[in-house]
Amino acid sequence: MQTTDATSNEQQELFCQKLQQCCVLFDFMDSVSDLKSKEIKRATLNELVEYVSTNRGVIVESAYSDIVKMISANIFRILPPSDNPDFDPEEDEPTLEASWPHIQLVYDFFLRFLESPDFQPSIAKRYIDQKFVQQLLELFDSEDPRERDFLKTVLHRIYGKFLGLRAFIRKQINNIFLRFIYETEHFNGVAELLEILGSIINGFALPLKAEHKQFLMKVLIPMHTAKGLALFHAQLAYCVVQFLEKDTTLTEPVIRGLLKFWPKTCSQKEVMFLGEIEEILDVIEPTQFKKIEEPLFKQISKCVSSSHFQVAERALYFWNNEYILSLIEENIDKILPIMFASLYKISKEHWNQTIVALVYNVLKTLMEMNGKLFDDLTSSYKAERQREKKKELEREELWKKLEELKLKKALEKQNSAYNMHSLLSSTSAE
Amino acid sequence: MAGAAGPGSGPGSAGRDADDSLYPIAVLIDELRNEDVQLRLNSIKKLSTIALALGVERTRMELLPFLTDTIYDEDEVLLALAEQLGDFTGLVGGPDFAHCLLPPLESLATVEETVVRDKAVESLRQISQEHTPVALEAHFVPLVKRLASGDWFTSRTSACGLFSVCYPRASNVVKAEIRQHFRSLCSDDTPMVRRAAASKLGEFAKVLELDSVKIEIVPLFINLASDEQDSVRLLAVEACVSIAQLLSQDDLEVLVMPTLRHAAEDKSWRVRYMVADKFSELQKAVGPKITLNDLIPAFQNLLKDCEAEVRAAAVHKVKELCENLPIEGRETIIMNRILPYIKELVSDTNQHVKIALASVIMGLCTILGKENTIEHLLPLFLAQLKDECPEVRLNIISNLDCVNEVIGIRQLSQSLLPAIVELAEDAKWRVRLAIIEYMPLLAGQLGMEFFDEKLNSLCMAWLVDHVYAIREAATNNLMKLVQKFGTEWAQTTIVPKVLVMANDPNYLHRMTTLFCINALSEACGQEITAKQMLPIVLKMAGDQVANVRFNVAKSLQKIGPLLDTDALQGKVKPVLQKLGQDEDMDVKYFAQEAISVVAQRLRKLDFPVKDSEEHRAPGPDKNHFLRPGMLGEDTGKFLSLMSRQHKETERLAWLLRGQ
């Protein structure tokens, strides 16, 4: 019997029965068992999806409980251990969810339910509560990208419709991220959660709450240290830039944070960081720029002289950006002295010809901005190098002397102990 | 003179002051502030030098405040600092001043990066022991309380690790406060903190009075074990081991077991995995009676868990579990309640489970004794020896000695050897290859006589296998066998058979003789090489197949170092010279190469030079590797990697020659 064939009252009854029917779970690891029953459930789920999306007024108050129960029964499960214990999301194919033929329809149904014009959050909140959301968030660790994609939309809708759950959702995401950064380094749904956050941040009211700023500084920035940054960097950078567009005074701490976590050995990540810095510079206010130009350009000058040509190239591309150029020009007296030595050096030494050509252009641009300063720096370059070398020697000297002092003290201590000893023994002898 | 100088007074100290002023703290601090992280890191790592140079007072008054105030650095620097400060007590003036180290460590215990925090906590724990009870209450306990009520989760997480070190020496009032703080952290809002508390629950329980354990720790344990997050629940399982050790059997039954039973059936596989993983510890902690009533049923469930990870973890514990059962009745328990599950696991769908089982199952022989082993275990071993996964077979074969001890070599040979022999003739060459690799191991376990009787013919048969990789491995295997059984054995059993192959109509088999000689000459020694091998090699120089001839040249080069001047001059050299005139360019090339090596060797024999140079002579020439298709005949460890390439180049040479 089809839901569409019955009269309204019967329909409602049937709807609930079919919901209950769909709470039965099947073992998809065993691909040959219960084939007929699986097919029946699939067909029923399809009917349910169609029923809620084509009919108005069918999501009545009494149905909520059964609906949420059916959804929970199907999607909430402990995710199995990964087939591949060394699963590398960048390299390996994900293990797809075996029960997808059913779960997909359940998610589809869930979304239609949430998006239905009849849907009433005030009733639904009795069932879609903190515990529900908590379980939903745990599913974001699913290895199956199709499932995560559904989850993303679902969570976004819930965040939009359930005002009472918003703070809770943010806090839980916060916890997931902290655990990801500091404990497990593994969570499959980071990119999806960040994508949702991107739109959440976009809607933050001004002035930003302390909670949000803390999230930025203590969660989003440290997240740049993650091993698998490449998997979610675009979303992460988007979130960061959203924050800065909301509140420009965050620029300085954000850039200092990025500089603190600047990659030391991973060139691929370094290129990502440079990309993010450029995104930030695109929206930076000139007053904020002044606050961070010194540490920032010290880092950029290191990147420019990186022996990894992609890093050097990415950094040198900053000089193709009109807005960044204008910022540099305004502050040329500060920036040129920082940049000069590395640019000068690599223009002579870099192994990659493209980089050398790019550096020549950059040097030319900088020279045009302030020829006098450029000439001064050129003529003092050698003296500067020598001064650095001398400083280096002095440092070595200092440490050597310290070592000697330490030895002498240790010796003295021994001697004095010995002297005390002999002193005591001589007095007792007297 | 200096004899009058006590510590800190007299003429000696004036000189020291002068030294100190040379290196004012400003300079040192400059170093700690240097722009280059590496330099800062270096300075921090030498912090003890700086402190020594400054002396205890200035370290306390100037260096530590500086460190406390300026802690904002890269985590790597902070980590080094946290580590250094743990050993700093002597440098600030001994235990009386240990509390001076607390402020910088307190800030370090609140940073985000886990490794830094953990190191700071470790150092704090170390320093806590150096505090007097009074100082502990005056300085250390307040610090722990501050951390425990910190705003950000990091400080509360750190606090969890500090309760147990200050509790034993605190007064009763303070003890109550400490317990209160710990309690609140166990129900902290942040899962990170609850995890930290759960992971320290066992450690904390151990320093508490028994009553407090029962009244306070057990409820905390029960709460954590039913936390909404499985990452918290699984840590409670760990704590369970420590708590169980503290309680009497009756208390255990009432207070802990319901929770543990529940954990073994938790809906999250991670928790069940933890129970399986900690099973031996749990078994010891709860004692034999509860083990029989509760743990064994739980273990049975874990052995047939729906997740392979859990089954594998449980399987790993099978042997230990059985060993630790009370000896009385042990056999019956294993036979009736464990073995049936093991029998099913032998054909588990997951290979990790089977590999785990194969690694422990042999250990049951000694526990169950000869008869049970023969009747019940041997069929399982046999099944596993035929398992499709090579690691399962390897695990069985490499533990054969356990079985040997229990049932004796005869029995073993009757039951298991047929399976091994069968594998040795497996249709898949990779399987044969795997068996060959076990041969030296088996030889060691079975002894020479038994080996000759049962396995020798197999080893020889592999020499004429139709897959090159197998012939190559067989050659290598012979060398290892000779190393095990000695030259006498080689001379009587191996060498004659190898040499006979020199007359084989198949040129590939004739080449195998040469490869064997290459591999065996060194192990067999000078005499066998010169008297038995050399004549055959020389004879083969007239072979009609060029591949054989150039391998003769290579073999002569290889065994050259084992021959004396007469043989080299009188026998080897003429043959090589003849080969040097060969019509085939490859033969010519290798002959010439061998000639130059042999000539070098001859020069040295005539004019002995330093030992160090002599060793270098027969090494392969660089050119040798540059030529395509000439990859090493010497059987090094790259063997398996190269074997396939070998086969191809061999075929290529064959095609080119059109034979």
DSSP sequence for B164-201: HHHSTTS-HHHHHHHHHHHHHHHT-SSHHHHHHHHHHH
- What pLDDT score was predicted for residue B24? 55
Residue B46 to residue A399, Cβ atoms within 8 A: yes
Q: Are A355 and A317 in contact (CB under 8 A)?
A: no
Residues 6+ apart with CB under 8 A from B444: B484
Query: Quick one: residue B8, left, alpha or beta (phi over 0 = left, psi -120 to 50 = alpha)?
Result: left
Instruction: Write the single-letter amino acid at A116.
Output: S
| Region A396-420 average pLDDT | 70
Using CB atoms, pick whichever of B46, B50, B112 lies closest to residue A222: B112
Using CB atoms, pick whichever of A260, A406, A419 lies closest to residue B3: A419
Residue B191 to residue A179, Cβ atoms within 8 A: yes
More confident residue, A388 or B654: A388
Q: What is the rounded radius of gyration, in angstroms, for the C-alpha atoms of chain A?
A: 32
Query: Quick one: residue A93, left, alpha or beta (phi over 0 = left, psi -120 to 50 = alpha)?
Result: beta
More confident residue, B22 or A97: A97
B380 CA to chain A: closest CA distance, Å?
A: 26
- What pLDDT score was predicted for residue B614? 41
Residue A423 to residue B6, Cβ atoms within 8 A: yes
- What pLDDT score was predicted for residue A74? 92
DSSP conformational letter for B628: T
What does the buried/exposed string (b/e) look like for B346-360 if buried means 16 or more CB atoms within 10 Å of the residue's CB? bebebbbbbbbbbbb
- How many CB pairs lie under 8 A apart between chains A and B? 81
pTM score of the predicted model = 0.73
Which range of A293-307, A334-348, B532-546 scores highest in mean pLDDT? It is A293-307
- What pLDDT score was predicted for residue B26? 67
Assigned token pair, B401: 């000695």
Q: Are B225 and B275 in contact (CB under 8 A)?
A: no
A 10 A CB-CB count for A25 gives 12
Query: Quick one: residue B408, left, alpha or beta (phi over 0 = left, psi -120 to 50 = alpha)?
Result: left
Chain B environment of A168 (Cβ under 8 Å) = none
Q: Are B156 and B193 in contact (CB under 8 A)?
A: yes
- Measured between alpha carbons, how far is B134 from B142 in angstroms, rounded to an integer? 12
Assigned token pair, A241: 């830039």
Chain B environment of A298 (Cβ under 8 Å) = 35
Residue A226 has pLDDT above 70, yes or no: yes
Tell me if residue B88 falls in helix, strand or coil: coil
- What pLDDT score was predicted for residue B612? 44
Q: Which residues of B touch A (CB under 8 A)?
A: 2-7, 12, 16, 19, 22-23, 27, 31, 35, 39, 46, 49-50, 52-53, 55, 74, 112-114, 152-153, 190-192, 195, 228, 230-231, 267-270, 307-309
A131 CA to chain B: closest CA distance, Å?
A: 9
Q: Are B12 and A412 in contact (CB under 8 A)?
A: yes
Containing H/E element for A97? Answer: none
- Measured between alpha carbons, how far is B338 from B377 in angstroms, rounded to an integer? 12
Instruction: Write the single-letter amino acid at B563.
Output: L
Q: Are B605 and B597 in contact (CB under 8 A)?
A: no
Terminal Cα-to-Cα distance of chain A (whole angstroms): 118
Q: Are B353 and B341 in contact (CB under 8 A)?
A: no
Q: Are B575 and B556 in contact (CB under 8 A)?
A: yes
- What pLDDT score was predicted for residue A425? 52
CA distances to B387, B449, B502, B535 from B495, in Å: 35, 17, 11, 13
Instruction: Write down the residue that tokens 């095990």 correspond to.
Output: B484
| Region A34-45 average pLDDT | 87
Residue A179 to residue B231, Cβ atoms within 8 A: yes
Rounded to the nearest 5°, which phi and psi values hold at B605?
-70, -35
Containing H/E element for B2? Answer: none
DSSP string, A114-182: HHSTT--HHHHTTTS-HHHHHHHHHGGG-S-HHHHHHHHHHHHHHHHH-GGGHHHHHHHHHHHHHHIII
- What pLDDT score was predicted for residue B275? 94
Chain A environment of B112 (Cβ under 8 Å) = 182, 218, 222
Closest CA to B637 of B435, B476, B514, B469: B476
A 10 A CB-CB count for A152 gives 17
What does the buried/exposed string (b/e) look like for A105-130 if buried means 16 or more CB atoms within 10 Å of the residue's CB? bbbbbbbbbbebeebeeebbbeebee
What is the per-residue pLDDT across A146-182, written as a single tens digit (0 to 9) for each?
999 999 999 999 999 999 999 999 999 999 999 999 8
- What pLDDT score was predicted for residue B5? 35
- Measured between alpha carbons, how far is B259 from B421 in angstroms, rounded to an integer? 51
The complex's ipTM?
0.80
B267 CA to chain A: closest CA distance, Å?
A: 7
- Rounded to 5°, the CA angle A257-A260-A261 comes to 95
Assigned token pair, B599: 């000539």
Q: Angle, to 10 degrees, between the axis of helix A166-179 and the axis of helix A130-138?
A: 30
Residues with pLDDT less than 50, chain B = 1-22, 609-659
Q: Are A154 and A111 in contact (CB under 8 A)?
A: yes
What is the per-residue pLDDT across A103-134, written as a single tens digit (0 to 9) for each?
999 999 999 999 988 899 999 999 999 999 99
Closest CA to A226 of A80, A79, A86, A89: A89
